Each structure stands twice: as C-alpha cells, then as structure tokens.
Amino acid sequence: MPEGDVAIRIGGAAGDGVTSTGEVYAIACARSGLHVTTYESYQSVIRGGHVWFQIRAANEKRYSQGDTFQLLIGLDQQTLDVHAPLLSAPGGVIHDNDRHDLDEGILPEGVQSLPVPAQAISMDVSGKPLMQNVATLGALAHHVGLDLKVLHGSLAKMFGRKGEEIVKLNETVAERGYRHAAKQHKPFEFALRPNGEGRLLMSGHESLCLGALAGGVKLVAQYPMTPASGIMHWMAAHAKDYGVLVKQTEDELAAMNLVIGANFAGARAMTATSGGGYALMVEATGLAGMTETPAVIVEAQRVGPSTGLPTKTEQGDLQMVFGASQGDFPRIILAPRSPEECYEAAWRAFNLAESYQCPVFILTDLYLGEMWRTVEPPDFQVPIIRGLVAEDGGEGYRRYEITESGVSPRAFPGQAGLMFIAGSDEHDEKGELISDIRAGLPEYVDTRTRMMEKRMRKLETALNEMKPPELWGPEDADLTIVSWGSTQAAVRDALEILKGTGITANSLEFFDLWPLRVDEARRALEAASETLMVEGNYTGQFHRLLRAETGIALGHALRKYDGEPFYPREIVAKAEEVLRGR
C-alpha cells in the first residue's frame, strides 16, 4: 500500500470482542482525522466460529477495505494460523504468547512477531481476563502512531454506558498494552498523519436511517433479517426521541401491508429487509402499484438463493426487485454507492414515493449497509415534497383522475368530501371497480387501457428526477469500468492502482437504476473505447438490463458471487487482462 494508508486486521472467535476492538480502533482513527473504511467478516453463529475485522485508515479518501493489511491482532489460535501468512510488510502480528503459539515460519518477509502479555495485563488490572483485547488495542495504537488520549476517548465512547469505573479499567489496560509495545518496538513508519480534525464514522444503514429521519419517516415496520435488522435496531433506539413508530411485525407480508396502510393514511412509512424477506413482500408491492400508494422499501442484499449465506454480501436481487409482482406498474429503484448516498437515497425515496405514488426501492447490500466508513457531515435541510394532494371538499373528486403526468391528487382519510375506495382490482378514475360486472364490456375495456397508461406515464414523468450515471476519472480512457451501487468502492480504488500501471481507466457508475436514464447511459457507453462491467452476481443482472435498454453489448464482465466484496486488485487484474487481449 502507498504511504499514509494502513490496514489492520483483528481476528478471533465470536464473543472474543473482535467487533468492539475494531470499532474502538475505527473510532480512534476517525477522531484522529483519518479516512476510515472497514470490512467485517462474520458468521451466522452467536458464540464461537471465526470473525475477522479489517480497518483501513488513510490520509487521503479511500473507498474500499483495501487489498492488503500490515498489522494483525490475533485473539485466538485460528487467527494466527489463517491470517498471519497473508500480512504485508512492513508489519507485524500482535498476539499473546502466553495463550497462543505463533509459528514465525509462516510470516512473510518483513513481518514480525509482536507479543503482548494481554491476558496477564487484564488480570493484573481488573482481576479478570475479559479486557485482553483492549491490551492488544493499546499495542496497536502505539504501532500505528495513534495518540493514547484519542484511544482513551474512543474507549470512553464505546464503554461509557457501562460506567466510569469500567471505562477507567479499560483505559488502564490499553495504556499498559501501549507502554509494553513502546518498549518493544518503535512505531512503524506508515506515515499516517493524524490531524485531530475528527471525522464522522458510520455505516451505510446508519446513514440511511439519518436520511430517513431528515426525510420525515414516521413509521418503520420490519421483520428481523440480516443485514437489514440494524435499521430496525437503530430506529427503535431513536424512536422515542424522534417520534418514529417502530413496529416489529409477525412477518414481511405484514410489514409491507402495514407500510401501505400507513402511507394510505398519510404517514411516511418504510420497511427494510433482505432478499428472502422481500420475496414475501412481492405480492403487496403490486398492491402499492395498483392502489397508487407510496411505499419505501430498503432491500439489503445478501447471498442467495434461499437462506444462502446470511452474513455475506451480493448484488443478486436486482432482477427480483425489478420484476417483482404480477403485471406492469411503475416502480423506482435507487442503488446508493456509498454511505453518503444512502443518506440522500433515503430522503429522496420518500419524496419520490409521494410524488409518484408508487413503491420506491433502496437497494443496498450487506457490504454497504453494515460496514463503517468516515463520511462528510450530511446536510439536514432536505426538501420535503409530498406530491399532489386534493383540497378538502373538492367537488367531483376523482382519486385516479387521468392526467398528463399520470399523477392524480391523493386524499387522506379524515379529509371532508373526498371519500374514495383504493382498490387492488382494476378501477376507474373514481376508484370504482371495473373487474366484476363491468369486465369485458367495450366501454370498460377502454377504461382498463386508459388506467394502465395513466399509471405507466408516471414513470416517464419520474425520469426527470432520476440521475444519470456518473463518469469518474478521465474522460478519455483505454477502459471504462461499469458498475452499480456499492461496487463503486472497489472500482474507485482500482482506478488509483491502475494510475501506476500505465492503463488509463475511468468508472461509469449507476445509482438511480429505474427508471433508467437511457440516453445518457447510451452516450456514455458509446463514448467508451472498451467496457468492463463489474457486478456482484452470477448472471450479470444489471449488464443484461443495460443491454436491453441501450442496445449496447458491453465488452467484458467481472462477476463475483463468493459472498465476499470486490477487492480493488481483482478489478485491476481483470482490467489488465482485458487490455492485454486487445
């Protein structure tokens, strides 16, 4: 890795404190003014198993977790055996040699053993072995050159709710680890420049929750499912202070229908789930489409099919979300690329849902949703656009009035003189059914056609609010790397690496996926000399959509479906392969 760019990895069994250790370190780096990106690999077990957490800190903005790591904290034997050979020099392994044996023969050249008597320190300070991970954290802080005071502050943030005494003990343990390391080895010359100008550290889903609050969310209905549960947890913890009603429902069928009911009554409501849960929401997605009721759905993708790999990431649900539910109806799909864009997608989703009276999806994934990154402070003054609403007592009100834009005025229960029935059956402008005794009568055949066309016109109107793909990097390039959503992270870092290889590449990034700005997409693809589509699924779901809509076949594809996020080097290698073959 270049100067001023260091990744560390912490590994252990679930229950060893891997996550909290990593979180404190990430907070300390963010508070030091460094740019932080993270990736945690965890398993679907509560205790035991193997967890590892990679945290990358850099002087300049980075997007992905990075390809290499220089320091390893091994909290168990498995971590030492599995991860130590993967380290990059210069670097080292922080471990407790009273508890585990590090086979120095497996260490790459320039990587050293950095033992810390972590358990002994924890026992000595607190009488318990529980804080051994904090002792290793102290050692880590020394090796990367973090200020001990910043580490103390980060421990206080993490453990503050457990009381001052616990915080004090943690600080003492960390300091002992730090001093031990200082005697043993001088800090590595990583050239990190902590500047004390603290940065905000958050996950994509936390950022999404902030965006939803800014956008006026009033109700969140959800059924637990990794990796979407964090949204419910965060919202529940903030529900009282921010006036949000959080309802854990009996299943996802209920969650989606409840959100539709709440939106029908006039409250901004959303749900969040993963692919398996969304499968249950499919039937009600069409209900929102037919009754023209707004609904915001966060679909946080994980590995499918079926239960798949619950704690692993993928971009495999686009096709399901795109085609979910019988018949044609307008839907909007946003696929934020970064935590910052999760924020924006959330408040935009409510505006779009109410403006166009249709389901709006925010397609995230485990990688984007759960991994912490430093972000720029969000702007809390966001526009709130509620769309067309009828005035009380309007004569001859027609809820589904045929208009040029396709958008008809809504009315909310409680408004005088506007009573109507929202129906899942086909209906006329007033909302009266044409599905039973009117079906097939010539007059109503025509009504069906006109109602269908009215609804579908909303998509054309909404297109004006959709954003075209962004071209990042030089306009003229040997290679245009095409991606959507969270894959931006690895692609952008790959571009940095490619700069040093003599290949000029740029990145064409899609984030407002539907309705698609086809003209801009086509122009961008036509301007590219060679294209490489990078996405996290087997069949190339976006690749096919892009070809269907633009008529342009992309040159090459890099697809991944092993559950792991893309790493920049994988994209670099593919780019080199593509251009070598030219």
Partner 1 sequence: MAVEVHVIKSDTKPTWCPGCGDFGILNATLKAVQATQLDPKDLVVVSGIGCSSNLPHFLRSYGFHGIHGRVMPVATGIRLANPDLTVIATGGDGDGYGIGLGHFIHAMRRNFDLTYIVMNNEIYGLTTGQASPTSEKGMVTKSTPWGSIEWPVNPIALALSAGASYISRGFSGDPKQMATLIEGGLRHKGFALVDVFSPCVTYNKVNTYPFFRERVYKLEDEDHDTSDLLAAYEKAHEWGERIPIGLFYRVDKATYEEEEPALSRGPLVKQPLGLSQEQAEALIQEFR
Residues of span 180-239 touching partner 1 by CB under 8 A: 198, 200-202, 206, 210, 213-216, 218-219, 221, 238-239
Contact 362, 334 (CB under 8 A): yes
DSSP H helices, 357-419, are: 366-370
Which tokens go with 151? Answer: 């580490």
- Residue 123 interacts with partner 1 (CB under 8 A): yes or no: no
> What three-state secondary structure class fits 381?
coil
Which tokens go with 460? Answer: 């054309």
Contact 364, 205 (CB under 8 A): yes
On the CB side of 338, how many CA atoms lie within 13 Å of its CA? Answer: 20
- Residue 420 interacts with partner 1 (CB under 8 A): yes or no: yes
Q: Looking only at residues 428 through 457 of this chain, which bind partner 1 when binding is defined by CB under 8 A?
A: 432-433, 436-437
Q: Looking only at residues 291 through 320 of this chain, which bind partner 1 when binding is defined by CB under 8 A?
A: 291
Output the CA–CA distances (angstroms, integers) from residue 393 to 202, 330, 478, in the order listed.
47, 29, 62
- Residue 357 interacts with partner 1 (CB under 8 A): yes or no: no
- Residue 384 interacts with partner 1 (CB under 8 A): yes or no: yes
- Residue 265 interacts with partner 1 (CB under 8 A): yes or no: yes
Q: Could you tell me which stretch among 143-151, 418-426, 512-520, 528-536 binds partner 1 (CB under 8 A)?
A: 418-426
Nearer to partner 1, 242 or 538 (CB): 242
Least distance CB 218 / partner 1 (angstroms):
4
- Residue 425 interacts with partner 1 (CB under 8 A): yes or no: yes
Nearer to partner 1, 45 or 384 (CB): 384
Least distance CB 520 / partner 1 (angstroms):
31
Sheet with strand 35-41: strands edge to edge: 111-115, 91-95, 71-74, 5-14, 48-58, 35-41, 372-375, 200-203
- d(Cα 445, Cα 350) in Å, to the nearest integer? 34
Which tokens go with 343? Answer: 């924020």
Nearer to partner 1, 434 or 489 (CB): 434
Using CB under 8 A as the binding criterion, the count of chain residues that bind partner 1 stands at: 72
Distance of CA 488 to the CA centre of its chain: 11
CA angle 316, 317, 318 (to 5 degrees): 100
Q: Could you tell me which stretch among 53-61, 141-149, 286-294, 308-316 binds partner 1 (CB under 8 A)?
A: 286-294
Residue selected from 262, 303, 368, 578 as contacting partner 1 according to rule CB under 8 A: 262
Neighbouring CB atoms inside 10 A of 272's CB total 31
- Residue 253 interacts with partner 1 (CB under 8 A): yes or no: yes
- d(Cα 399, Cα 422) in Å, to the nearest integer? 8
Least distance CB 89 / partner 1 (angstroms):
34
Provide the mask over 361-380, with x wherever binding to partner 1 is found by CB under 8 A and - wherever it is not. ----------------x--x
Nearer to partner 1, 109 or 197 (CB): 197
Which tokens go with 515? Answer: 């309705």
The CA-to-CA distance between both ends of the chain, in Å, stands at 29
Residue selected from 163, 224, 305, 417 as contacting partner 1 according to rule CB under 8 A: 417
- Residue 158 interacts with partner 1 (CB under 8 A): yes or no: no
Least distance CB 250 / partner 1 (angstroms):
4
- d(Cα 209, Cα 224) in Å, to the nearest integer? 16
- Residue 81 interacts with partner 1 (CB under 8 A): yes or no: no
